Amino acid sequence: MPADRPPPEGPSAPEDRSMLLDSARRTTEVEPILTVHPEPGVAKPNPILTMDGLRRSFGGLTAVDVDHLEIERGIVTALIGPNGAGKTTLFNLLTGFDRADHGRWEFNGQMVTSPSPDRLARRGMVRTFQLTKSLAKLSVLQNMLLGAPNQMGERLWAAPFRHLWRNQERTNTERADELLEQFNLARMRDELAGTLSGGQRKLLEVARALMSDPALVMLDEPMAGVNPALAQSLLGHITQLALSGVSVVYIEHDMDVVSGISDWVVVLAQGRVIAEGGPWKVIHDESVIDAYLGRRRAGTEA
Amino acid sequence: MDFDIIFGNAARAAFGPEAIILALAAIGLNIHFGFTGLLNFGQVGFIMLGAYGTSVAVATFGWSLWVGIPIGLFLALALAVALGIPTLRLHAVMFAIVTIAAAEIIRILIGSTDAIGLTGGPLSVSFDAGAFFDLNPYADGPQDRYGVGTFAFTGQQMWVITVGWVLVALVSLIVFLIIRSPWGRVLKSIREDEDAARSLGKNVFWYKMQALMIGGVIGGMAGVIDAIKTSGADPNGFRPQVTFYTYTALLLGGAATYMGPVLGAILFWFLREWIESFLRQLSAEAWLPGAIADFLEGSEGIISVAMVGLALVLLMLFRPQGITGNRIEMQLDAR
Ligand SMILES: Nc1ncnc2c1ncn2[C@@H]1O[C@H](COP(=O)(O)OP(=O)(O)OP(=O)(O)O)[C@@H](O)[C@H]1O
Ligand SMILES: [Mg+2]
């Protein structure tokens, strides 16, 4: 399943080296997670997201069936699993885009009682979509600005009075330009987003999600369709994010990417968490390999 | 065949009260359909409540016109809330069905014989709009005419037209200001992809509700002007085709543009009146074969509406973004 892409430690761009440095530095910072025993549903020292008994079925098919799972704060967690494992569905449940049949989860220390996507986003849980949702008829910059939180100008009563929101808009624009620069989209700033390539839209969506300074970003296959060089820099940003205290969960199929930048890996198969742990250990876990190859083992069959 | 008369008639329609009413209705619809993507097929309902709210307050309750107007606008606002709460969360098609049905239900209720005591029922309601015309600065004698040839208005009409176009300009300005703001940006994001807007923390339901309310109240303004112009209201004036004429004007001018609804309304009435006058003159020509003249006689109005419809079809084929729209934006839909 892994896409045809060079491993993260490629020999080329200068950013690669800095990324290596970052990950070296990070190893010391994420120490606590390394002490966690790698088994499904294990408790973490400082979780930002904790879910219990989360279930969702479509007709007879149980897409998600997670007994207990914790996502650690401030690190990069990869969510992997074969196609149809329920990764996207799990994202949809957690972010309020789909309703669980059962289950409860806690975000940032607070129970999520009535999951509405916009409220969760305002609380700091921001996601991107597997099928990109860039807004084609808005310019790239407008897309970015839309991501900014608490905008005075988004209130109807203040909208006609530009002086009430001009400064905030300017600050947001500066922030947007910074991010566009980082994501190699500065050139496209004033183009309509609909004119971007598929990979550029993926990048735009991630950059846009970052406009709100989220506490947790959930990226659904952010690297899919992005060319290797850009994917490389995107990986760098993800690492940077975790360094600056943001928690990241991302879905990815490429094992090189997963082992390159993840601090922790959760494996989903047929809706269940079948393994979690440090990247090296999980990727070489036999039950994980079996799941990817479509083999069922006595232990995972329910 | 006198083309001066034809042109004069067309110009009078294009700048007269009818065009103003259509322009306001289309500006409101532009907020719904153009900028937010709400398929409101009941714009006439808002116009109707604006007109009847004003008329009934003055005629039935004997209140001042200056109380009646806000009541008309308030009823339009209330309709927006009443329609929005149950339907804005549903699929766009559901919303379209509910709006068209709601407008018809309101019209039937207003026009029912049971409502005679309140709204005049099937008979039209009429009131004295003196409070408005007392302020008329134009001399309004029986001989006073403003304009040239058939492109001329009475003093009373001039006053309605002046107030009306000032209102259109003012409302257009406000719409321009709110749409180019971050608020307008959220509307456009909802139009394109509600889930994207939600994922960025926008309360989609509430923004749609705000858009519905604003566009509805602007539709209510069209109704108020209509009530003042005719000193009353008639249920037959608020059939569903009013909404479709509004869509025609909006699409002619260009949806989701600032000037589109106004230009579209002017063009709609110009074309409609030009064709109708032309046909009326044509049917009187001696050289026309009797069968064709008989066919035209009395149907000029219907034929002219059909021709405007044809013009819309051609426009959609060759310039789908309308007169003022942006071609590139349209092409993005295909991707
Ligand atoms: N709306 C839906 N209706 C019916 N079945 C659904 C729906 N959404 C997901 N499913 C089913 O649930 C299962 C999990 O789908 P999901 O999209 O979560 O997988 P995934 O792990 O994201 O896969 P991929 O790696 O291919 O993106 C699949 O079998 C899918 O067919
Ligand atoms: Mg998926």
Q: What are the residue ranges spanned by the domains of chain B?
A: 3-123+154-328
Strand locations in A59-130 (E): 61-72, 76-80, 102-107, 110-111, 125-127
> Is A158 in the same domain as A109?
no
List phi, psi (to 5°) of A65: -150, 80
Any B CB within 8 A of A7 CB: no
Question: If you take atom 31 of ligand 1, which residue's CA is the nearest one?
Answer: A84
**Best mean pLDDT range from A8-12, A208-212, B293-297:** A208-212
What's CA B83's distance to the chain center, in Å?
19
> Is A25 in the same domain as A111?
yes
Q: What's the confidence (pLDDT) of residue A13?
A: 41
For the stretch A94-147, pLDDT in tens is 999 999 999 999 999 888 888 899 999 999 999 999 998 989 999 999 999 999
Across-strand partners of A82?
A: none
| Distance linking the first and last C-alpha atoms of chain B | 50
B34 CA: distance to closest CA in chain A (Å): 13
Better-predicted residue by pLDDT, A190 or A237: A190
Q: Is A136 in Cβ contact with B192 (below 8 Å)?
A: yes
- Pinpoint the alpha helices (H) of A45-96: 87-94
Do residues A1 and A82 lie in contact, with contact meaning Cβ atoms separated by under 8 Å?
yes
Better-predicted residue by pLDDT, A260 or B264: B264
Any B CB within 8 A of A13 CB: no
CA distance B234 to B118: 13
CA distance A217 to A76: 10
Is the Cβ atom of A61 under 6 angstroms away from ligand 1? yes
Ligand nearest to the CA of A291: 1
Which residues 94-113 of chain A have a CB within 8 Å of chain B? 95, 97
Window from A21-30, A40-49, A156-165 with minimum mean pLDDT: A21-30
Q: Is A126 in Cβ contact with B199 (below 8 Å)?
A: yes
CA distance B301 to B279: 9
Do residues B99 and B45 lie in contact, with contact meaning Cβ atoms separated by under 8 Å?
yes
Q: Is A202 within the bounds of a domain? A: no
pTM (two decimals): 0.89
Any A CB within 8 A of B291 CB: no
Is the Cβ atom of A280 under 6 angstroms away from ligand 1? no
| Distance linking the first and last C-alpha atoms of chain A | 25
In angstroms, what is the C-alpha Rg of chain A?
A: 19
Residue A184 has pLDDT above 50, yes or no: yes
Which of A146, A161, A195 delimits the end of a domain? A195
Compare CB distances from B182 to A135, A136, A145 and report the shortest one's residue.
A145
> Is A24 in the same domain as A76?
yes
Compare CB distances from B332 to A137, A153, A212 and report the shortest one's residue.
A137
Is the Cβ atom of A86 under 6 angstroms away from ligand 1? yes
Which band of pLDDT confidence, cut at 50, 70 and 90, is reported for residue A8? Answer: very low
Q: Is A12 within the bounds of a domain? A: no
Which band of pLDDT confidence, cut at 50, 70 and 90, is reported for residue A225? Answer: confident
Question: If you take atom 25 of ligand 1, which residue's CA is the nearest one?
Answer: A83
Residue among A55, A56, A64, A87 to mutate when testing ligand 1 (max atoms within 8 A of CB): A87
Better-predicted residue by pLDDT, B149 or A252: A252
Ligand nearest to the CA of A57: 1
Residue by residue, DSSP assigns A203-262 as HHHHHHHHTT--SEEEEESTTTT--HHHHHHHHHHHHHHHHTT-EEEEE---HHHHHHH-
A79 CA: distance to closest CA in chain B (Å): 20
Is the Cβ atom of A60 under 6 angstroms away from ligand 1? no
> Is A89 in the same domain as A173?
no
> Is A34 in the same domain as A118?
yes
> Is A232 in the same domain as A85?
yes
For B86, residues 6+ apart whose C-beta sits below 8 A from its C-beta are: B98
For A250, residues 6+ apart whose C-beta sits below 8 A from its C-beta are: A76, A77, A78, A79, A218, A219, A220, A221, A222, A238
Residue by residue, DSSP assigns B299-332 as THHHHHHHHHHHHHHHHHHH-TTTTT--HHHHHH
> Is A68 in the same domain as A168?
no
For A47, residues 6+ apart whose C-beta sits below 8 A from its C-beta are: A70, A71, A72, A73
Any A CB within 8 A of B181 CB: yes
3-class SS of residue B123: coil
Residue A29 has pLDDT above 70, yes or no: no
3-class SS of residue A126: strand
Please state the domain count of chain A.
2
Which residues 314-333 of chain B have a CB within 8 Å of chain A? 328-329, 332
Q: What's the confidence (pLDDT) of residue A233?
A: 83
For the stretch B130-141, pLDDT in tens is 899 999 999 888
Q: Is A41 within the bounds of a domain? A: yes
CA distance B275 to B220: 29
* Ligand 2 centroid to residue A84 C-alpha, Å: 7
Do residues B60 and B118 lie in contact, with contact meaning Cβ atoms separated by under 8 Å?
yes
A194 CA: distance to closest CA in chain B (Å): 6
> Is A101 in the same domain as A154?
no
Q: Of all helices (H) and strands (E), which one includes residue A47?
A: strand A47-58
Chain A residues in contact with B199 (beta carbon < 8 A) = 95, 97, 117, 121, 126-129, 133, 209
Which band of pLDDT confidence, cut at 50, 70 and 90, is reported for residue A38? Answer: confident
CA distance B302 to A53: 65
Region label for A124, one of left (φ > 0), alpha (ψ between -120 and 50) or beta (otherwise): left
Nearest CA in chain B to A122: B201
Q: Is A134 in Cβ contact with B186 (below 8 Å)?
A: no
According to DSSP, the β-strands at B232-233 and A61-72 are unpaired
Q: Is A114 within the bounds of a domain? A: yes
For the stretch A269-279, pLDDT in tens is 999 999 898 88
> Is A235 in the same domain as A184?
no
Mean pLDDT of chain A: 85
What's CA A171's distance to the chain center, in Å?
25
Q: What's the confidence (pLDDT) of residue B331?
A: 62
Atom of ligand 1 nearest to the CA of A221: 27
CA distance B262 to A179: 40
> 């009395």: which residue's tokens?
B298
Q: What's the confidence (pLDDT) of residue B316?
A: 82
Compare CB distances from B181 to A117, A119, A165 and report the shortest one's residue.
A165
Residue A7 has pLDDT above 70, yes or no: no
Domain carrying residue A122: 19-134+213-294
Is the Cβ atom of A127 under 6 angstroms away from ligand 1? no
Q: Which CATH architecture has domain B3-123+154-328?
A: Orthogonal Bundle (1.10)
Is the Cβ atom of A87 under 6 angstroms away from ligand 1? yes
Do residues A172 and A161 lie in contact, with contact meaning Cβ atoms separated by under 8 Å?
no
Which of A169, A195, A221 delimits the end of a domain? A195
> 């997963």: which residue's tokens?
A258
* Ligand 2 centroid to residue A81 C-alpha, Å: 9
* Ligand 1 centroid to residue A302 C-alpha, Å: 19
A166 CA: distance to closest CA in chain B (Å): 10
Residues of chain B with pLDDT under 70: 327-335
Do residues B215 and B30 lie in contact, with contact meaning Cβ atoms separated by under 8 Å?
yes
B259 CA: distance to closest CA in chain A (Å): 18
> Residue B299 class from Cβ within 10 Å (0-12 exposed, 13-18 middle, 19+ buried)?
middle
Window from A52-61, A173-182, B107-116, B280-289 with minimum mean pLDDT: B280-289
